Amino acid sequence: MVLVSILPLALLAFSRTVSALTVSVSATASHPIPTSLCTPAALNAWEVVNGASLNVIREVIPVSSALPNALQVVLPSGRSGPMGFANTGFYGIKVTSGATYTASFYYRFPKATSFRGNATISLQSTSGQVFGSTTAALSGAQTAWKQVEVKLRPTKTATSTSNVFVIVLDGATAAGQTVNFAMFSLFPPTYKNRANGMRADLAEVRRVPEATKMYHRLLNARTILRRLSKWAPHSSASQVSSGLGLLDYLNWCEDSGMEPIMGVWAGYALGGETVPENQLGPYIQEAIDQINFAIGDPAKSRAAALRASLGHPAPFALKYIEIGNE
């Protein structure tokens, strides 16, 4: 699962499995943009289906300031049959019969049209065998971003991970249409069936938060208390999607019976950057907000009220705070 500016790609401990073609992007965002987003590498793992055209574009109306790009799909005239695109996942996609996969994406039409039709969302082998499929209605009148979420229940188990996540429209009715997509996600069943949750096989052995992220300014209360669509990916030694927030980590500890130790930023970043003592005030306040999100009283703390609004009014069992990575 997680995510360059277009979509969340798969991470090893995070359950998302979704990871031609021109790139015409020169974007700014609320965070540093990896240089690969302005090269054909931005379309790594993406494939066209039946002659559709894929472009990474700078969105005039982005999903959020953290996600300035979109995947623009142009369906040419004069074709029939399913047209669209596929994603090969993060080193493949495991497909298990009887499991429920949750797929989601945002879409909008850059210009209003009279189109009304269904997108077919499926899990297939690279040779075209369909393991599970469903549909979602799309409307050409939808010029603002709309999130679509569907369930996929494969009836067959794939013999390998050489599989693809596919979204297509009927060429006979959708020919000539242009549709923008963003923030794709595909989750297999998660640990404790949490929305936006953990990969079940790794959920009990993961250190959180990751050590390297403790060296970055991007790991702060303002980032991890936002809605998912406003979490900005960033690059350290490798690209990170930032697809998990503080609530997800705390839920993980609660689900597995772990004692949480919350890390807060110490004012030091990789590369030797430090914040002078007389400028630490805002970062100390962020740490206070982060702690209050976990254990504060919703009647007295804005951060705690946010926790309650997200479905966890009771405080978490947080007793320990770690300042900095070491």
* 250-309: pLDDT as tens digits: 998 898 888 888 888 888 877 778 889 999 998 899 899 999 999 999 999 999 999 999
**52-66, 94-108, 154-168, 298-312: which range is least confident on average?**
52-66
Q: What is the mean pLDDT of residues 113-129?
A: 97
CA distances from 292 to 4, 265, 326 (A): 30, 15, 23
**Residue 246 and residue 231 in contact, taking contact as beta carbons nearer than 8 Å:** no
Residue 106 binned pLDDT confidence (cut-offs 50, 70, 90): very high
Residue 21 binned pLDDT confidence (cut-offs 50, 70, 90): very low
pLDDT digits (tens, 9 = 90+) for 22-69: 444 444 555 555 656 656 677 888 999 999 999 888 899 999 888 888
CATH 2.60.120.260 is held by the domain 22-189: yes
Residue 2 binned pLDDT confidence (cut-offs 50, 70, 90): very low
Comparing C-alpha atoms, which of 287, 303, 183 is closest to residue 233? 183
User: Is 50 exceeded by the pLDDT of residue 218?
Assistant: no
Comparing C-alpha atoms, which of 174, 123, 193, 117 is closest to residue 152? 123
How far is the C-alpha of 62 from the C-alpha of 295, rounded, in Å?
34
Q: Following CA atoms 138, 91, 241, 253 in sequence, which dihedral angle do they give, to the nearest 10 degrees?
A: 100
Range(s) of the chain covered by CATH 2.60.120.260: 22-189
pTM above 0.75, yes or no: no
| Strand, coil or helix: 50 | coil
Q: What is the mean pLDDT of residues 206-218?
A: 54
